[in-house]
């Protein structure tokens, strides 16, 4: 029988056990309690100590290291969790060694990603770090042996990350894996107006829906994210507006399948996109995330118009996975190769220069040499400038894992052959000498350039001039590589500032309203600032005491009422004192 300290709490409320006294019992016991008078210490004996005792556990003062694997949706979740923790008072650090707790946000798409996740858990435990797990791996399979006894926060429960971290620091194991519902209907997830720390202050990632309508036989993400659940259009538009007010100049729309957006709430993707382009400032841009072929087929005309909009990148990620109809059928992809070609051909005709990115799985169970050659021909035909090549990995619990597998050596060779074909052509050579308009948003991995994107979301490297960051500039393309272009800013061209206001500082918490910034918190004025600088005196001893804007209901009226009552009492005592004077 496991010890009490090893038991797993399914929710915060489970901390109260069956052995605890009931309210009635507590009231009865109070009658037998007698107060003990304590002598006051003289002022000279009182010692002030700003630092808590070394053996104290005070949640809200620790350093937290966050690691995220996987897609843009997962990265957005990681930013939200970082923002809430920083708003509460925790310090978000980039140094894993100095952190008191590791928050590991996982991806379940492929085996290597889960292997990295598992190794990080082991490393944290060896380093005596507290651990909280998030993302799709623990959501899909929370009972795996290596997750035993560890705190888990589900993909739809990220708005409760502070509770989970707080209880984990206290030594409890907490698991929140439930789904968010409204009158029985599943919601898209946590609210979009939560605080967050953007990895890049110029880029806002907005998840427009979670889950999907497919049941692909190889996909583990479906087990974690579930069926389609879309956010209302008004909430998404409000989030975009707020982002622009915080200096963002590029928005990424993400989900497991953006093309399916709205089918569960009576709307569709084009309707959302037309509403969003109305609020995008001049110079700012919107990038649309991955969409599967079946759902984009219904909206090709409208999608072409939207992708031609000057504030929308002419870019679309449409995974084909295989060019064999028999393989697609075994994958349960719900389209055939002809459907994919129809989408690509139509968009290439109606949106000149559009970038089509796609994914391919090599060595899916049952894939023959003939099937693979069909895929090679498709890549040769379209010469995709962006191609994500994945060797098939059977994910536990999926139907594809039970199918007869292609030998590992064959999978590896097919992956190699497709990679060689992809690297045999240069998609950007014909663009040398062009003059392009680009938006500069980030720094290159080698730190030698700034990274910009042209209207087709092609990567353009520009000189590392701080004056260019966050700007829309014109450049002359002078060099082309396999994955990039290089551009030199045109000296006489107009430089446009894409952000309508000063962007937040690196590490600064987004989503804090002016009301919250100025609201008194525990006797101190809360002030939005980088998480590393949030003063200790603003930290609260309990998450329930931290009344954030989305938790307050009539808080201002209550404070006003109490203040007036206290004022009335003071006035009454004052006049009574006047009357008793001789």
User: What pLDDT is recorded for position 453?
Assistant: 98
User: What pLDDT is recorded for position 301?
Assistant: 96
Domain ranges of the chain: 63-180, 185-425, 430-497
Between helices 269-277 and 300-307, what is the axis angle to 10°? 20
Query: CA 454 to CA 440: how far, in whole Å?
Result: 9
Neighbours of 339 (CB within 10 A): 19
Q: Which residues pair with 315 in a beta bridge?
A: 355
pLDDT over threshold 70, residue 573: no
The pLDDT confidence band at residue 45, using thresholds 50, 70 and 90, is very low
Share of the chain above pLDDT 90, in %: 63
The tens digit of pLDDT for each residue in 202-239 reads: 999 999 999 888 889 999 888 888 889 999 999 999 99
User: What pLDDT is recorded for position 36?
Assistant: 55
Mean pLDDT, rounded, of the chain: 83
On whether the pTM is more than 0.85, the answer is: no
pLDDT over threshold 80, residue 29: no
User: What pLDDT is recorded for position 112?
Assistant: 84
User: What pLDDT is recorded for position 17?
Assistant: 45
Query: CA 551 to CA 528: how far, in whole Å?
Result: 18
Topology of the domain covering 430-497: OB fold (Dihydrolipoamide Acetyltransferase, E2P) (2.40.50)
Mean per-residue pLDDT, 496-513 = 86
User: What pLDDT is recorded for position 182?
Assistant: 74
Among 55-69, 343-357, 530-544, the range scoring the smallest mean pLDDT is: 530-544
User: What pLDDT is recorded for position 570?
Assistant: 67
pLDDT over threshold 60, residue 505: yes
Class of domain 63-180: alpha beta
The residue with greater pLDDT, 336 or 111, is 336
User: What pLDDT is recorded for position 577?
Assistant: 56
User: What pLDDT is recorded for position 516?
Assistant: 40
Contact by Cβ (8 Å): 286, 312: yes
Q: What are phi and psi of 580, to 5 degrees?
A: -85, -5
Share of the chain above pLDDT 70, in %: 78
Neighbours of 305 (CB within 10 A): 16
Contact by Cβ (8 Å): 320, 378: yes
The tens digit of pLDDT for each residue in 447-498 reads: 999 999 999 999 999 999 999 999 999 999 999 999 999 999 998 878 889 8
What string of DSSP letters covers 213-268?
A: S---TT-SHHHHH-B-EEPPHHHHHHHHHHHHHTT--EEEEE-S-GGGTTTTTT--
Sequence-separated (6 or more) residues with CB below 8 Å from residue 361:
218, 321, 322, 331, 390, 391, 392
pLDDT over threshold 70, residue 104: yes
The tens digit of pLDDT for each residue in 237-296 reads: 999 999 999 999 999 999 989 999 999 999 999 999 999 999 999 999 999 999 999 989
The pLDDT confidence band at residue 35, using thresholds 50, 70 and 90, is low
Mean per-residue pLDDT, 159-172 = 93
Mean per-residue pLDDT, 23-52 = 49
User: What pLDDT is recorded for position 503?
Assistant: 93
Q: State the CATH architecture for 185-425.
A: Alpha-Beta Horseshoe (3.80)
pLDDT over threshold 90, residue 422: yes
The pLDDT confidence band at residue 110, using thresholds 50, 70 and 90, is confident
User: What pLDDT is recorded for position 11?
Assistant: 44
The residue with greater pLDDT, 255 or 12, is 255
CA distances from 480 to 31, 169, 461, 483, 486 (A): 84, 51, 10, 8, 6
Residue 91's SS3 state is: strand
Mean per-residue pLDDT, 85-112 = 92
> Rg of the chain over CA atoms, in angstroms?
28
The residue with greater pLDDT, 10 or 313, is 313
User: What pLDDT is recorded for position 531?
Assistant: 32
């Amino acid at each position: 029988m496991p010890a009490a300290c090893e038991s797993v709490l399914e929710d915060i409320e489970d901390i109260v056990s069956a052995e605890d006294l009931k309210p009635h019992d507590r009231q009865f016991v109070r009658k037998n309690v007698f107060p003990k008078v304590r002598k006051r210490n003289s002022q000279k004996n009182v010692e002030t100590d700003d630092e808590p005792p070394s053996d104290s556990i005070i949640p809200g003062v620790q350093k937290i290291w966050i690691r995220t694997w996987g897609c843009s949706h997962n990265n957005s979740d990681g930013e939200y969790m970082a923002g809430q923790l920083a708003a509460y008072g925790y310090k978000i650090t980039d140094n894993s060694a100095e952190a008191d707790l590791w928050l590991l946000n996982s991806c379940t798409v492929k085996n290597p990603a889960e292997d990295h996740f598992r190794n990080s858990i082991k490393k944290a435990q060896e380093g005596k770090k507290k651990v909280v797990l998030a993302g799709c791996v623990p959501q899909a399979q929370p009972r795996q042996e290596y997750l035993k006894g560890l705190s888990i926060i589900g993909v739809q429960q990220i708005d409760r990350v502070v509770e989970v971290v707080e209880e984990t620091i206290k030594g409890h194991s907490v698991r929140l894996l439930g789904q968010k519902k409204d009158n029985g209907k599943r919601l898209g997830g946590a609210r979009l107006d939560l605080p967050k720390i953007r990895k890049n202050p110029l880029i806002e990632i907005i998840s427009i829906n979670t889950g999907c309508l497919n049941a692909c036989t190889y996909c583990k993400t479906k087990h974690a994210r579930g069926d389609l659940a879309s956010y209302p259009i008004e909430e998404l538009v409000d989030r975009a507006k707020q982002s622009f007010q915080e200096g963002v100049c590029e928005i990424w729309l993400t989900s497991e399948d953006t093309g399916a957006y709205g089918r569960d709430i009576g709307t569709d993707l084009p309707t959302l996109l037309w509403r969003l382009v109305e609020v995008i400032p001049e110079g700012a841009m919107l990038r649309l995330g991955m969409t599967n072929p079946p759902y984009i087929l219904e909206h090709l005309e409208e999608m072409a118009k939207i992708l031609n909009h000057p504030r929308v990148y002419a870019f679309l990620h449409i995974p084909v996975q295989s060019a064999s109809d028999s393989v697609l059928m075994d994958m349960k992809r719900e389209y055939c190769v002809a459907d994919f070609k129809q989408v690509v051909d139509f968009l290439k005709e109606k949106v000149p220069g559009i970038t089509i990115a796609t994914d391919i799985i090599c060595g899916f169970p049952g894939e023959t040499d003939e099937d693979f050659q069909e895929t090679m021909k498709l890549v040769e035909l379209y010469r995709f400038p962006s191609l994500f090549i994945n060797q098939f990995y059977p994910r536990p619990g999926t139907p594809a894992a039970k199918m007869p597998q292609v030998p590992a050596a064959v999978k590896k060779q097919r992956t190699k052959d497709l990679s060689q074909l992809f690297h045999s052509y240069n998609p950007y050579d014909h663009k040398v000498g062009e003059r392009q308009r680009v938006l500069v948003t980030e720094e290159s991995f080698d730190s030698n350039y700034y990274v910009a994107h042209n209207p087709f979301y092609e990567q353009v490297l520009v000189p590392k001039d701080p004056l260019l960051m966050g700007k829309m500039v014109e450049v002359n393309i002078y060099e082309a590589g396999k994955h990039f272009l290089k551009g030199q800013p045109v000296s006489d061209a107009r430089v446009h500032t894409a952000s309508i206001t000063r962007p937040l500082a690196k590490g600064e918490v987004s989503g804090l309203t002016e009301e919250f910034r100025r609201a008194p918190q525990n006797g101190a004025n809360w002030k939005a600032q980088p998480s590393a600088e949030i003063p200790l005196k603003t930290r609260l001893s309990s998450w329930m005491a931290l009344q954030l804007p989305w938790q307050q209901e009539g808080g201002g009226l209550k404070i006003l009422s109490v203040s007036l009552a206290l004022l009335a009492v003071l006035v009454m005592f004052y006049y009574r004192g006047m009357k008793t004077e001789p």
